[in-house]
Structure formats: structure tokens, C-alpha cells
Structure 1
Amino acid sequence: MIIGVPKEIKNNENRVALTPAGTQELVKNGHTVFVQSMAGAGSGFSDEQYTLAGAQIINNAAEVFAKAEMIIKVKEPIEQEYKLIRKDQLIFTYFHFASYEPLTNAMVESGATCLAYETVERSDRSLPLLIPMSEVAGRMSIQEGAKYLEKPLKGRGILLGGVPGVKPAKVLVLGGGVVGTNAAKIAAGMGADVTIMDINLDRLRYLDDVMPKNVHTMISNDYNVRELVKDHDLIIGGVLIPGAKAPKLITRDMLKTMRPGTVLVDVAVDQGGCIETCKPTTHEDPTFIIDDVVHYCVANMPGAVPYTSTLALTNATLPYAVRLANKGWKKACSESAELRNGLNVVNGDIVYKAVADAFNLPYTDVKKYL
């Protein structure tokens, strides 16, 4: 198979979808790999490293897309890439379709096969290609939140861990999944007073057992969320419904009950956000303020730490990429329920129900193509 790796062009996106090590693995399996020049530079990988691993370097994205049967990316295609994607081409990347209808429509019109990292799902409901970036984003949410609590950045002016004689900051984490667990772990390690909320009592029991003593658990419902936001300094939104829009747990009216300088970090922004006032921001301009509450809603948080993120992501995606290249997407998805769950759009049809439901569009059973 001919595989193309274009350079990511989303604002401040420095990750790359394939490392030189991954390139070598695909070449070893008999595949041709085209990598756009400087695609790996932001993550610390040179064109020379890719060449030594067996890749062919191409100077422009249009040629990479034109030559490749499978495109491997990190982030969803953006508008200037739409026209480069063609019928029957396989695109393997994060899509987060349910949060952006123009992307969904563009991929439907392209006739391409869109296999989304975020909906590749195992029988135990875990999301193996979302987990590594959720781990990074969860940990980063505290790092960024602690920074924006500083007064010069319009925060409350409170140190996350406090000091002897002064109470630490209070951190509220919405969602006890991968993002929330990693956020709570880092916040607790920095000495904050942490509360983590979830709707699953079994999950809360588990977290109560494994988390340090400065992490408390509470059942998530509208009443409890409304009460806790009033006196927490940093609030992390980390809820997820695979492939679907995130539920709005913090509504516009709750902002007026928060203290000035409270910081909200919405890690769920890729899926539409779990904070009603959330709108996607970039690393270049990461925050905005509504009702004296600081909103940090960067849609590609792990892109700020590309070396760590690229290695973490490609450790997870490479085995699936090799399987797709070796067998072709139809056979690979027929044999693997995990990969089959990743199919979102095929030949102009939406084959993932949550995406169709998000925009009231027709849904087609993926079995039509397998």
C-alpha cells in the first residue's frame, strides 16, 4: 500500500502521525511511505531520519495526498485539505465529526473512507487510540490551569498547592475517565484539594481506593455540580461519550455563581465541549473571559508537547496502521471489531450512528461495505 504522511497545518500543531521507527516498520512490511518535508520537525524528527528509515520525502502536501492510498494524520483535515482528499482514499486520523458539521459534510462529499482514532473501541469499551492523548491532555489540564490561576493571567491569584499556613486551591474534575483520572492525579501531586465527579458509582469506588487522601469523590448530577462550582478555583471538564457531542455539565448561568478568576479547562472541546460557554481556542490565543471566569479551551492541547505526544500516540496507532496497510481497510475491519468501530464515513455514507444523530443525517449500517 502507498501511505502518505502530510505535515499538520492546524494552528500550533507540532505532532506528526508517523515516526521514523513507524516508517521503518511499514517499509519492512513491503509498503511505500511518502512523508511531506518537515512533517516531523516539530516533534524532533528530521527528513534525514525518515529517509534512513525508508521513506520518500515529498515537498508539498498536494503531492502526498495525490500519491497515497492511505493518509495517516494526527488532527482532522482542515478546509484547505478538503479538496485534496479523494474518493476511495483511506484517511486514518482524529476526526471528532460530531463537533463540526462542515467537516462531516466535506468528508461525505469526498467519497473517502474515514477511520477515526477516537472511535476505535475494544470490547471492554476502552478507546485505545484516544487513551494516550487523553492521558496527555488530562495531565496538561492541571499544568495549564495552574498557570492561568496566576493574577497576571486574570486568574484568582492562588497557588495550586498552597503553602504552610495557607490552604491549597480547590480543583473540581468532571469525569472519572482517563482525562479526569490523570488530571486528579497531577492536581493531587501538586498538593491541591481535589474533587472528582462521575455518574458511575463503581468507578468512584475504584478512584476512592487508588487516589491519595487529598482526592475526594462525589456523584455527578446537576445539583452537586451547581453547588461545587461556587467555591472551586480550577474546574476541569473531562467527560466523553464516544463519537458523540459531550453533554453540557456547566451551563451559562453557573458562571455568575463562580468567584472572579475561576479557571475552566474544557478538555472535551474536541467533542463540542462540556461547558456551555466553551468555544475552541488555539495555543496562540488560548483563553477568553466571560463573567470574570477564565476559559481555556484549546482543541489540540497535546500539540504543545509534541515530542511526548507523538511518541505516545504512535505507540498506539502503529499496530493498527500496519494491519490496515497489510490487509486493506475492508478485510482489516471485517476481521477486527475494534477497527470496524473506527469507521465513521464510507463512500459518502455516515456509518457511525452518533455522528449521523448529531446532525440529523441519514445513517447507513457499516455492514453494507464489509
Structure 2
Amino acid sequence: MVIGVPREIKNNENRVALTPAGVAELRKAGHTVYIQVNAGEGSGFSDEEYIGAGAIMLPTIEEIYGIAEMIIKVKEPIAQEYSLIKENQLLFTYFHFASSEPLTHAMIERGAVCLAYETVEKNDRSLPLLVPMSEVAGRMAIQEGAKYLEKPTKGRGILLGGVPGVKPAKVLVLGGGIVGAQAARMAAGLGAHVTLMDVSLPRLRYLADVMPENVDTMMSNEYNIREEVKHADLIVGAVLIPGAKAPHLVTRDMLKLMRPGTVLVDVAVDQGGCIETCRPTTHEDPTYIIDDVVHYCVANMPGAVPYTSTVALTNATLPYVMQLANKGWQQACRDNAELKLGLNVVDGKVVYKGVADAWNLPLVAVEDVLQQEVLN
């Protein structure tokens, strides 16, 4: 298969979808890999390293899209890429369709095959291609939150871990999944007092067993959230519903309950955000203030640590890329139920329920689409 890796052009997105090691593995299996010049520069991988691994370098993004059967990316295509996408071209990347109606309609109109990292799902309901970036984002949420608690950035002026004689900050984490668990562990490691909320009692029992002593678990509901936000210094939104919009757990009126300088970090921003006043920001301009509450809502947080993120992402995606390249997307999705769940939009049809529900679009059964591909 002919595989193309364009340079990411989203604001301050320094990750790349494939490392030189990944290129070498694909080449060993007989596939052709085209990499856009300087695509790996932000992650610390030179063009020479890619060439040494067997990649062919192309200077422009137009050439990459023009030649590739499968495009591997990190972030969803942005508007200037839409016209480059060909009918029946396979795109394997994070899409988060439920948070962007224009992107959804653009991919439907282009007739592309959109296989989303975030909805590839194992039998145990885990999301193997979200896990590495969730681990990075969960840890970064605390790192960034601690920074924006400082007074020069309009925070409360609190050191997360405190010092002898001074109480540590109070951190509230909403969601006990990968992001929430990593955030809680990171905050606890820095000495903060952490409250970790989730709606699943079995999950809370597990977290209570494995978390440090300065992490308390609590059932997530509106009453408890309203009470906890009054005292929290840093609030991390870490809620995910695979392929669908995140629910608003922190509502607009709750901001009035918070103390001035409280910091909100919404890791779910690329799924619409679980904080109602959240709107996507960038690494260039990461925060804004509403009711004296600092909002940090960067939609590609792991892009700030691109070397770590790129290597972690390729470790997770490469086995699936190999299956798609070796078998073609149709056969690979028939053989692997995890990959089949990654299909969101195929040949102008929405085949993932969360996306169809988000924008009130007709849903076509993915099995019907795969059967049609056989007939074609």
C-alpha cells in the first residue's frame, strides 16, 4: 500500500503520525511510505532519519495527499486540507467528529473513508489509541494547571503542593478514566489534596485501592460537584463518552460558586468539553477568564510535548496501520472488530452512532457498508 504522512498544520501541532522506526517496519512489510519534508521536525525527527528508514520525502502536502492510498495523521484535517482529500482515500487519525459539524459534512462530501483513532475499541471497552494521549494529557493537565494557579497568570497564587505550615492546593478531578487517573496521580505526587469523581462505584473502589493516600474518591453527581467547586483551586475535566459529545458537568452558573483565580482545565475540549464555558484554545493563546475563573482549554495538549507524544502514539497505532496496509481497510475491518468500530464516515455515509446523533444525520450500519464494498 502507498502510505502518506503529511506535516501537521494545526496551530502549534508539533507531533507527527509516524516515527522513523514505524517507517522501517512498514517498508519491511513491502509498503511505500511518503513523508512530507520537515514533517517530523517538531518531534525531533530529521528528514535524514526518515530517508535512512526507507521513506520517500515529498516537499508539499498536496503531493502527499495526491499520491497516498492511506493518509496517517495526528489531528483531524482542517479546512485548507478538505479539498486535498480524494474519494475512497483512507484517513487514519483523531477526528472527534461529534465536536465539529463542518468537519463531519466535509468528510461526507469528500467521500473519504474516515477511521478514527478515538473510537477504535477493544472488547473490554478500552480505547487503545486514546490511551497514550490520554496519559500525556492527564499528566499535562496538572502541569499546566499548576502554572496557571500562579498570580502572574491570574491564578489564586497557590503552590500546588504547599510547604510546611501551609496547606496544599485542592484539586478536583471529574472523571476516573485514564485522563482522570493520571491527573489525580500527578497532582497527588506534587503534594496536592485531590478529590477524584466518577459515576461508577466499581471504578471508584478500584481507584480508592490504587491511589495515594492524599486522593479521596467521590460519587459524581450535580450536588456533589456544586459543593466541591466551592473549595477547589484547580478543576480538571476528564470525562469521555467515546465518539460523542462530552456532557456539561460544570455549568455556567457554577462559576459564581468558585473563588477568584480558580483554574479550570478541560481535557475533553476536543469532544465539546465537559465545562459549559469551555471553548477550544491554542498553545499560543491557551487561557481566557470568565467570572475571574481561569480557563485552560487547549485542544491538542500533547502537542506541547511532541517527542514523548509521537513515540507513544506510534507505539499504539503501528499494529493497526500494519493491518490496514497489509489487508486493505475493508478486509482489516472485517477481520478486526476493534478497527471496525473505528469507522466513522465511509463513502459519504455516517456509520458511527455517536456522530449521527450529534448532528442528526442518518446512520448506516457499518456491516452494510462493508458488505457493499464486497459487492463492489
- TMscore range, shorter length: over 0.9
**3-state SS of the aligned residue for 1:45?**
coil
CA distance in 1, matches of 2:165, 2:20: 51
Q: CA deviation at 1:170?
A: 0.0
Equivalent in the alignment of 2:310: 310
Asked if residue 33 in structure 1 is aligned to residue 36 in structure 2, the reply is no
CA distance in 2, matches of 1:226, 1:335: 46
The structure 1 segments of at least 4 consecutive aligned residues displaced by more than 4 Å after TM superposition are none
Deviations 1:159-191 (A, max 9, x none): 000000000000000000000000000000000
CA distance in 2, matches of 1:332, 1:163: 55
Deviations 1:112-132 (A, max 9, x none): 100000000000000000000
Asked if residue 2 in structure 1 is aligned to residue 2 in structure 2, the reply is yes
Asked if residue 114 in structure 1 is aligned to residue 114 in structure 2, the reply is yes
Deviations 1:306-358 (A, max 9, x none): 00000000000000001100000000000000000000000000000110000
CA distance in 2, matches of 1:68, 1:194: 47
Asked if residue 357 in structure 1 is aligned to residue 360 in structure 2, the reply is no
Counterpart code for 1:304: A
CA distance in 2, matches of 1:368, 1:70: 22
Deviations 1:7-31 (A, max 9, x none): 0000000000000000010011111
Q: 5+ unaligned residues in a row in structure 1: which ranges?
A: none
Equivalent in the alignment of 2:152: 152
CA distance in 1, matches of 2:54, 2:25: 9
Identity %: 76
Equivalent in the alignment of 1:195: 195
CA distance in 1, matches of 2:162, 2:224: 25
**3-state SS of the aligned residue for 1:91?**
strand
**3-state SS of the aligned residue for 1:142?**
helix
Q: 5+ unaligned residues in a row in structure 2: which ranges?
A: 371-376
Normalising to structure 2: TM-score of the pair?
A: 0.98
CA distance in 2, matches of 1:152, 1:53: 46
Equivalent in the alignment of 2:301: 301
**3-state SS of the aligned residue for 1:176?**
coil
**3-state SS of the aligned residue for 1:134?**
helix
Normalising to structure 1: TM-score of the pair?
A: 1.00
Q: CA deviation at 1:368?
A: 1.5
Equivalent in the alignment of 1:230: 230
Counterpart code for 2:132: P
Counterpart code for 1:257: L
CA distance in 2, matches of 1:19, 1:369: 32
Counterpart code for 1:27: R
**3-state SS of the aligned residue for 1:35?**
strand
- Number of residue-to-residue matches in the alignment: 370
Counterpart code for 1:358: A
CA distance in 1, matches of 2:309, 2:112: 27
Equivalent in the alignment of 2:325: 325
Counterpart code for 2:271: Q
CA distance in 2, matches of 1:343, 1:62: 24
- When the two chains are superposed, the root-mean-square deviation of aligned CA atoms in Å is 0.3
Equivalent in the alignment of 2:374: none
Equivalent in the alignment of 1:213: 213
CA distance in 1, matches of 2:147, 2:88: 45
Equivalent in the alignment of 2:137: 137
**3-state SS of the aligned residue for 2:311?**
helix
Equivalent in the alignment of 1:266: 266
Q: Is the 8 A contact 1:330 1:369 kept in 2?
A: no
Q: Is the 8 A contact 1:15 1:307 kept in 2?
A: yes
CA distance in 1, matches of 2:310, 2:97: 22
**3-state SS of the aligned residue for 1:139?**
helix
CA distance in 1, matches of 2:109, 2:369: 17
CA distance in 2, matches of 1:47, 1:212: 44
| Pairing of 1:248-267 with structure 2 (within 5 A) | 248-267=248-267
Equivalent in the alignment of 1:20: 20
Q: Is the 8 A contact 1:3 1:31 kept in 2?
A: yes
Deviations 1:175-212 (A, max 9, x none): 00000000000000000000000000000000100111
| Pairing of 1:168-187 with structure 2 (within 5 A) | 168-187=168-187
Q: CA deviation at 1:369?
A: 2.1
Asked if residue 280 in structure 1 is aligned to residue 280 in structure 2, the reply is yes
Deviations 1:31-55 (A, max 9, x none): 1100000000000000011011110
Q: CA deviation at 1:279?
A: 0.1
